[in-house]
Amino acid sequence: MLAIFKREIQSFFTSPIGYLVIALFLTLNGLFLWVFRGPFNIFDYGFADLGNFFLLAPWVFLFLIPAITMKSFSEEKKLGTLELLFSKPIGLWQTVLGKFLGTFVLALIALAPTLLYVYSVSNLGTTVGNLDMGLVIGSYFGTIFLVACYTAIGVFASTLSENQIVAFVLAILLCLALYYGFEGLSSLVSEGETSVFIENLGMRAHFDNIARGVLDTRDLIYFISLAGFFLFLTVVQLKNTNRR
């Protein structure tokens, strides 16, 4: 697993991909939060907090992470090197986890510089340092768990086609459906309890809970289970591919 993880990280940073992803994530967030006028702009918002950043980040990652993961297994299929992975003395779970962790760590590296926003916003308030750090820490935890799920979904989508563009689109659709789709479905149901149940099937409800600064074990279990489920599906799909 460690060898696969190192190879993934090296492949990102020996080519422009890793630097491009980090630069694109920071540029998009920076433009929407500090430059472009609109609902996400911190100066227009009028409050010194990072709420807008944590509203924006899930949507930016929803496109960036599938762009990174689309080559995970699609490229191996296209180049015919997937069989070599099967022949190596490494279990499928180790291979999948290695590729998953490589992308996950890259996303965390992209997220790390945004800690500067915490310092900047903290100094923008009428009272310097008057920033709810519990809320900020909770929101970062929520984003990290959300990114883990996006990554697992993206890695799974890359096993479904040798075409990277198809894998990219499938990953976006799956992430979008699981992040926002259940909230949309819940609005079609009139009964309160059923509506809440359907909404809680989606990632957004659990992300919002953690982002409020409340680390509920139910939300953590949800994200860990969802990521684990898609990693399991990835292993199953690879086994089926190997049998053909």
Residue 115: the pLDDT is 87
Q: In this structure, are residues 68 and 150 in contact, taking their beta carbons and an 8 Å threshold? A: no
How many residues comprise the chain? 244
Residue 187: the pLDDT is: 80
> Span 30-55, mean pLDDT?
76
Both tokens of 19, joined, read: 């630097």
Q: Other CB atoms closer than 10 Å to residue 11's CB: what's the count? A: 14
d(CA 8, CA 101): 9
Longest dimension (CA), the chain: 65
Task: Calculate mean pLDDT across residues 145-151.
Answer: 95
In sequence order, the 6+-apart residues with CB closer than 8 A to the CB of 70 are 154, 157, 158, 164, 165, 167, 168, 171
Is the confidence at residue 41, as pLDDT, over 80?
Answer: no
- 119-123, 141-145, 152-156: least confidently modelled range: 119-123
With pLDDT > 70 as the criterion, what percentage of the chain qualifies?
89
d(CA 113, CA 101): 19
Higher pLDDT, 108 or 4: 108
Of 58-72, 118-132, 175-189, 205-219, minimum mean pLDDT range: 118-132
Determine the Cα–Cα distance for residues 39 and 43; give it in Å rounded to an integer.
10
Which region holds residue 38: left if phi is over 0, alpha if psi is between -120 and 50, else beta? Answer: left
Instruction: Calculate the average pLDDT of the chain.
Output: 84
pLDDT at 196 exceeding the cut of 80: yes
